[in-house]
Every structure is written in C-alpha cells, then in structure tokens.
Amino acid sequence: MGTPLWTTEAAAKTRGEWKTEYVRPGEVPFPEENPYTTEKVNLGHKLFFDPRLSGSDYISCATCHNPSFSWGDGLPTGFGHKMTKLGRRTPTVLNSAWGELMMWDGRFESLEEQALGPMGAEAEMNQELGGIVEELRAIPGYRTLFNVTFPGEGISIANIAKAIATYERTIVSGIAPFDRWVAGDETSISTAAKRGFDIFNNKANCVSCHSSWNFTDSGFHDIGLPDDDIGRGGVVKNMVKMQHAFKTPTLRNVVQRAPYMHDGSLGTLKEVIDHYSEGFTKRESLSDEMKPLNLNDDEKADLLAFLLTLEGADPVVAAPVLPANDQVPGAWLQRLSPAAGGQAETAECRTARLHLRRCK
C-alpha cells in the first residue's frame, strides 16, 4: 500500500509553515471607486439598520444580517417580504471586504451591487429603487447626511449602495484565540485544537477551499449536498463543475452561525464534519476535492476543537439612532380629518398619517 497523500503533504509543510498562511492582514481593502470615509461609514450604518429601505418598512439589511448571529439570522433559510420563505440560508457579511463575487451563487460582482440586489428583489425587501430615493429625500436628516457625505451629489441609488457597501467593509471579525496562537502565544489554544489544525491542513484537506486568514478561497464548489438547487450553475450555465456549486463561506466565527450550508440543512459543526468525512452525494459536478476522509472520532473532535478557536472577540454593535421622518404640521392633519370637514380619508392616507408621512 502506498503512502497516504496527506502524509506526504504533512512532510512537505510543517505546522509552523502552515501558520504563516493564516496571518491576519494589517488593513481593510476599499476600492478606488468607493474609498473609505468616516461620513460614509456613519451613513451606511444607519441605512443598514433602517427598515424604511424596504417596501414594507419593516425589513432592514440588519433583519437578516443580524450582528447577534455573526451577521446572519440563525435560520435554515431566510424570510423576506410578507414572510416569504427564501430558498437559501442568509450568508454572513462578515469580512466581505475581502470577497470577490457576492451571494451564494456569485451573481453580484461587488458589495455595491449586493447592497441593492436584495433591496430591489420582490421576495426579499420588495423596494422600488426609484421610490426609495424620493422616500429618503423626504427625511430631513438623510438629506443632510447625504449632502455631507457626497457633496454636490446628495441622495441617489449609487450613493445609497456606496454607503452601505462601505459600512459592510468595516464589518471585520475580531482577534480570535487562533490569531494569538499564530502570533506566537502557544497557550491561547488547546493541544487538541493544534492537532485539529494539522488535520484541517493535511488529512482533511479543508484548506483546499477554506484557505488564508479568512478561511475561504472565495470560489464555488459542489460539496455533495442532496438538493436540487444548482447554485452557481444558474449563473454560469455551461460549466459542469459549477452545477450545484456554492460559494465557500468564511469559517471566522462559524460557531455563531448554525445551521450550516447554503440550505441550512446541517444543524451543528459535528454534522458538517460528518458530511465531509463520509456523507456526500456523488455526481458529475462534485468538486474534485471531495473525497471520503474516514476521520475517526478523536480526529473529528480535534477538528471541532480547532474550529472553535476561530471565534473572535468582536465589538458590540449598537443599533444607530435613525433620522426622523419629517414632522407634519397640525393644520395639515386637520385638512386630512373628515371630522374637520376635509375630504374623506383613504386607507392609504391614514397609514401615511399614522407614520407621520406626507400624503397627496
């Protein structure tokens, strides 16, 4: 019997050499066409948490990308407009500044595109993008914030996307025990976790997809989940390997984001490890990296111990104070009131009045 491949790889690269592959970057990348400013982050923070960006006025970006669930929602699959059940699990926006193609299927090429995609999707936030500009212009605080952030430009769809994307790029996982170990603190993780790190990079070969400090290659792979969703295949239609392929998620703070996979079908990290070890569906599009690992119980426990060291000490995120709707003069309310002799109030106008919005 020949020498197992993972043994050869282990001999080729030591634990210390592997550690150098996972050093955290020193700064967050921002694109030249949308550079960082504190004003943009402040505005994007407010927009991210503002439910008025949805057609129903009750769904914000943060509804699904909740910082309490490591910027996911803790559900197997998300819910959108009118509680429509969506087909895929909500992906985290954590460390998305280092991403390349966005969403599980990579259909958006930038965070700016991604910010607008769910907003305009009928099943998600159901917002008419042209209408949101007028809605925000009716809010004095937003007029001021956009004029300060984008002098001479003000409120536009492009600037809404730029502000939200800039804020999302500042959502970065905190220093984890693993990072302290990589930096030289041998006491920061357990002996079992260190063995798990070796398994991750060698026998289990998780590193083939979950690589670098963010533990993702930003690529798309069919990992053998038994469902009919073709994932990236719906975008790239003529490539066999892209059928049933989904974007590799970051493993940073992964313990906070159960359930797992694009369809939320695996409830625990133990189930995930079992899936990769022996439980995947074989088909033509299956990733070439998907091979039975045959991990024993001790190796699985060590691998799990390693994954738990990736939980960072992230800062607490406070919900921002949002700009208030314009205040409606009392005389205007009287003109709407049938009791004051005005025209009969429609249901639409009554809703607008109750929300302190102007109604024509």
pLDDT by 10-residue block (mean), the chain, 360 residues: 41 88 97 98 98 94 96 95 94 96 96 94 91 93 97 97 98 98 98 98 96 97 95 95 98 97 97 91 94 94 98 94 80 44 46 43
What SS3 class is residue 71? coil
Torsion sign, CA atoms 269, 273, 278, 284: positive
DSSP character for 173?
Answer: P
**What burial class does residue 228 get, using C-beta atoms within 10 Å of its C-beta: 0-12 exposed, 13-18 middle, 19+ buried?**
exposed
Is the distance from CB of 181 to CB of 188 less than 8 angstroms? yes
| Alpha-carbon gap, residue 100 to 110, rounded angstroms | 7
| Domain 5-25+184-308 architecture | Orthogonal Bundle (1.10)
**What type of residue is 73?**
D
Q: What is the pTM of this model?
A: 0.87
Give the domain 38-169 fold.
Cytochrome Bc1 Complex; Chain D, domain 2 (1.10.760)
| Alpha-carbon gap, residue 156 to 131, rounded angstroms | 11
**Bridge partners of 246?**
221
Number of other residues whose CB lies within 10 A of the CB of residue 167: 23
What are the residue boundaries of the structural domains of the chain, listed by start? 5-25+184-308, 38-169, 327-360
Backbone dihedral angles phi then psi of residue 160, each to the nearest 5 degrees:
-60, -45
Amino acid 327: pLDDT? 77
| Alpha-carbon gap, residue 270 to 204, rounded angstroms | 14
Say whether 38-169 and 5-25+184-308 share the same fold. Answer: yes
Is the distance from CB of 255 to CB of 308 less than 8 angstroms? yes
DSSP character for 56?
Answer: T
